[in-house]
Structure 1
Amino acid sequence: MAEQLLSMRCRHPSHDHLPPITLRRPSDDMVVSGAGAAGRIVVVGVGGATCSGKTTLAKHLLHILNPSSDSGSDGAASSGSNRAHGILDAFILHQDDFAPPEATLPVNEQFGVTDWDHPPTAIDYERMRSTIEHIKTTGSFPPGFSSHDHLNAQPDCPISEQVSTTWRDKFGSLSTNHGVRIMLVDGFLLYYDAAVRSTMDVKIFLRTPRAVLKQRRDERFGYATAEGTVWKDPEGYFDNIVWPAYELAHRGVFGRHDVENGKAVKPDPDAKPVAGGPVEGLCVLDVAPAQQADSAASTFSREMTQLVDETCAAIWTFLTASQP
């Protein structure tokens, strides 16, 4: 049972239950022409520690949010006209694509290893911020942008078809004046930089116990880099580098600096936002392994199903509350 709880019942080599994701390049037609307008872009952040399920969650959301000709729960095909003034499309931006070249990263002197996780240097935050702003302004990725996420193996983590269909139907019924496009942004340091987090409209944070994260990280094959190589953790990397960096990046986000149990701190409206500081409007979703008692016959992850359900609810609340 313990192994089932820690692994979220997700089988790592397979991609069967997640739709194939192809990041569209600037050369593709990313500006949707609906009702004479491209539609405003709503940015949904999905943050959390390494191996917390961020990218898996984001890709389930992509499947639910994107318009499709698939039949709804009532058997009727989704109509393009129904979506014309609703959600026009959804796409993902991965924070990992903004990691600096490996050769420029610092070496941890105490342990003698390349440090991919030190919050101030792990991400090119300015390039990430400018990319998000470029997409929000133009509706397309900047020239020359590319992603290496497709090189990473994606866990096979199916969710309840009932929950997926219910939300697809609900988002399909959404009506707005000019339509909206959903940009999902996932990352392990997503809310560290004040300028980057200020671009987010909906801020989701997956908080998972350290022991669960460590086991998932140990089971992971490695991480694809922009140079086309695969980074594999040296022995002790999680305990010596990953977890201390996670605590450093998020200690200011939670009360008593308790990243595992503290409540999210509300920012002081009169204080200047700082790196690693409190995050306005942060929605913390706590993963509780003790509640993940799926039976051996279960065909989906209850944990991921719940994360999808709660995140969809947060997105729906924002979209319906922010309509002009």
Structure 2
Amino acid sequence: MRTILIGITGASSSGKSTLAYLLKRILPHSEIIHEDDFYKLEKDIPFDPVRKDRDWDCPDAIDMDAMKQTLSVLTEPNTYSKNPRAAVKDTGDGYYDYAMASTEPTIKDAFFKNDERTINELLGKVNAKLENFDSRQSFRIFLLDGFLILPDKELLKMLSLTLFFKTSYKALKSRREKRTYNVGGDVWADPPGYFDKFVWPSYYTYHKNLFIRGNDESYIKETGGNIKEEFMEEYNVFEFDNNDQCDADKLIENATLVIADKIFH
């Protein structure tokens, strides 16, 4: 069986999780792995003495090693003994399935509105593409949804391709500040100023070297940033605009067709 890993990335509130759920509906034999489910325990989240709070938006907040071990076993089952922290379960037929139950919500963001006809049309296009795909009955897809994929070159090399959804600072902040989370049965929201204190500074810090004009923060805030062409070519990254004024149907269509053209050929 061929295991295909596809990265879905962007800043927090860029729409990546919503798009991952839509792609799961369109792509056969697909599952989602959320990077957020690999967060370390709260006591192990780095504490920033300057900002006087734990930094949930830095790479050290995520158990990247466990996540990479998981991806390694899913793609190469014979590496199981070398990856004891992989979140997988034995299927009994020589392969492993992803074993972690996600805490991520499955409801689409309110701003993202798709026409069901678009989803159905894309299903038809993917199925037509699969007619000539040699491994039609022997592949599976894992969509890795995470905000810290691009800065990790080792992780990028494990992926067949990565979709990057770029969004302006203004849209990101507006969406993030409207969010609520269900944590242990309690409704939780960001404390005042959290986006400007942690979310944006961390995102910008760990991504700016990947962008054209990356040192110009005001430009990145306005545009969402354009990834350097040589980086996209080397790591098979494709970027898409996902601001509030974007056409949601066109966005999911473009993302689907990139995957179909690059994977099912």
Common topology (TM > 0.5) = yes
Question: How far 1:210 sits from its partner (Å)?
Answer: 0.6
Taking structure 1 as reference, are residues 54 and 240 closer, same or farther at Cα in structure 2, changes over 3 Å only? Answer: same
1:218 maps to amino acid: E
Query: 2:57: which partner in 1?
Result: 117
Could you tell me which residue of structure 1 aligns to residue 3 of structure 2? 41
- Work out the CA distance in 2 between the residues paired with 1:65 and 1:183: 10
Identify if the C-alpha distance between structure 1 residues 315 and 93 changes in structure 2 by more than 3 Å, giving closer, same or farther: same
Q: CA deviation at 1:164?
A: 1.0
* Residues 251 and 204 of structure 1, relative CA distance in 2, 3 Å threshold: same
Q: 1:193 aligns with which of 152, 159, 162?
A: 152
Residue 88 of structure 2 aligns to a residue in which SS? coil
Counterpart CA distance in 2 for 1:176 and 1:152 is 30
The alpha carbon displacement at 1:100 in A equals 0.8
Q: Normalized per residue, which structure has more strand?
A: 2
The answer for the alignment partner of 2:205 in structure 1 is 248
Tell me how far 1:235 sits from its aligned partner. 1.6
Letter in 2 for 1:184: L
In the TM superposition, 1:301-316 aligns within 5 A as 302-303=247-248, 305-316=249-260
Partner of 1:105: 45
Instruction: Look up the equivalent residue of 1:142 and give its one-letter code.
Output: V
Q: CA RMSD in A?
A: 2.7
Counterpart of 1:263, as a letter, is N
Aligned length: 239
* Aligned-residue offset at 1:177: 2.0
Per-residue deviation, 1:172: 1.4
- 1:148 is aligned to 2:102: yes
Q: Give the stretch that moved more between structures: 109-118 or 246-255.
A: 109-118
- TM superposition shift of 1:138: 3.3
What is the alpha-carbon distance in structure 1 between the residues aligned to residue 182 and residue 65 of structure 2? 23
Structure 1 CA distance for aligned equivalents of residues 157 and 53 of structure 2 = 32
Q: State the 1:219 CA deviation.
A: 0.5
Residue 178 of structure 1, CA deviation: 2.5
Matches within 5 A, 1:146-225: 146-150=100-104, 154-156=108-110, 157-173=112-128, 174=130, 175-179=132-136, 180-222=139-181, 224=183
Partners of 1:222 and 1:204 lie apart in 2 by 25
Shift of 1:137: 2.1
Q: Which residue of 2 aligns with 1:131?
A: 70
Q: Which runs of 5+ in 2 are unaligned?
A: 79-85, 90-97
Larger radius of gyration: 1
Cα pair 1:252 1:278 within 8 Å, conserved: no
Unaligned regions of 5+ residues in structure 1, if any?
Answer: 1-38, 67-88, 269-276, 293-301
Q: Deviation at 1:150? A: 4.3
> AA paired with 1:306?
K
Match of 1:18 in 2: none
Secondary structure, in 3 states, of the residue corresponding to 2:12?
A: coil
Which of the numbers 1, 14, 17 marks the counterpart of 1:55? 17
Structure 1 stretches of 4+ with a deviation exceeding 4 A read 150-154, 227-231
Give the Cα separation in 2 of the matches to 1:129 and 1:187: 13
| Amino acid in structure 1 at the alignment position of 2:250 | Q
